[in-house]
Amino acid sequence: MYLFCPYCGLDLRFIIKEKLIARLTLRDRLVRIYMLFRDPFRTMEHIASAPDLMGGFILMLLCGFILTLKFILIFSWYGVGISSISFIYLLISAFTLEMMLWLSLSMIIGFAIKIVGGTGSFREILSLVGYNQVYLLIAHIISLLSLAGSGPVGSESPGILTPAASIYIPFIFVIAWFVGYGVSYTHMLKRVTAISASISASLILIIFFYMI
């Protein structure tokens, strides 16, 4: 398969990438998510070769559902009942928060990558961050179990949220590491440059959410 037309020199990489994306099925996307646990580096290369947003959307929904369970657990500590309407509102709020996190992390990494000379598209970064939400899903589950294990507490309940929140920090760095690895392929950057820019961007996001 030619990357450039042998006759006129036309860049065919975009056309090839779009054809690969069009061939992706739901099963392919689920396999990608699974393989992020088995062989994350090779899987990131595969995602970089055919970036799509559906896989990230699936993981965003899963993260939103776990976050909703966390909300319900915290409300139960204060004796707040959850009706079916309230559950729907909580679910929408959780999905909105997850979408904002996906977009904000993608935008700040994208900005950092542009600064260091990246030439790819924002869609590619959005896809890479989207798939790496699988590690955020693990953090959500651990955080939920941490809250459930602590049990309802009295006046100290706000303080118990801090350890549960700090669980996310190493997972955000893991996401940044793998996104940087994938970006080195999509944005034509040296691996160390892309990873360093991605981790630096995630550090800014962590400081913004945890310190301000």
In tens, the pLDDT along 119-132 reads: 888 999 999 999 99
The answer to whether residue 114 is domain-embedded is yes
The answer to whether residue 16 is domain-embedded is no
The answer to whether 77 and 157 have CB atoms below 8 angstroms apart is yes
Q: What is the pLDDT of residue 18?
A: 57
Q: What is the pLDDT of residue 1?
A: 44
The answer to whether residue 184 is domain-embedded is yes
Q: What is the pLDDT of residue 37?
A: 93
The answer to whether residue 54 is domain-embedded is yes
Q: How far apart are CA 195 and CA 212, in angstroms?
A: 25
Question: How many domains, in total, are found in the chain?
Answer: 1
Q: What is the pLDDT of residue 21?
A: 66
Residues of the chain with pLDDT under 70: 1-22, 150-164, 210-212
Q: What is the pLDDT of residue 166?
A: 80
Instruction: State whether residue 81 is helix, strand or coil.
Output: coil
The answer to whether residue 1 is domain-embedded is no
Domain that residue 112 falls in: 26-211
Q: What is the pLDDT of residue 130?
A: 96
**Residue-by-residue DSSP string for 3-67:** SB-TTT--B-HHHHHHHHHHT--HHHHHHHHHHHHH-HHHHHHHHHHS--SHHHHHHHHHHHHHH
Q: What is the pLDDT of residue 174?
A: 95
H-helix or E-strand spanning residue 178: helix 168-186
Which residues on neighbouring strands pair with residue 4, listed in sequence order?
11
Residue 174: CB atoms within 10 A of its CB come to 18
Of residues 64, 70, 136, the one with CA closest to residue 98:
64
The answer to whether residue 12 is domain-embedded is no
Kindly give, in sequence order, each residue whose CB lies less than 8 Å from that of residue 116, ignoring residues fewer than 6 positions away.
Answer: 189, 193, 194, 196, 197
Q: How far apart are CA 124 and CA 197, in angstroms?
A: 16
The answer to whether residue 156 is domain-embedded is yes
The answer to whether residue 162 is domain-embedded is yes
pLDDT digits (tens, 9 = 90+) for 147-179: 887 665 544 444 444 566 788 989 999 999 999
Q: What is the pLDDT of residue 196?
A: 96
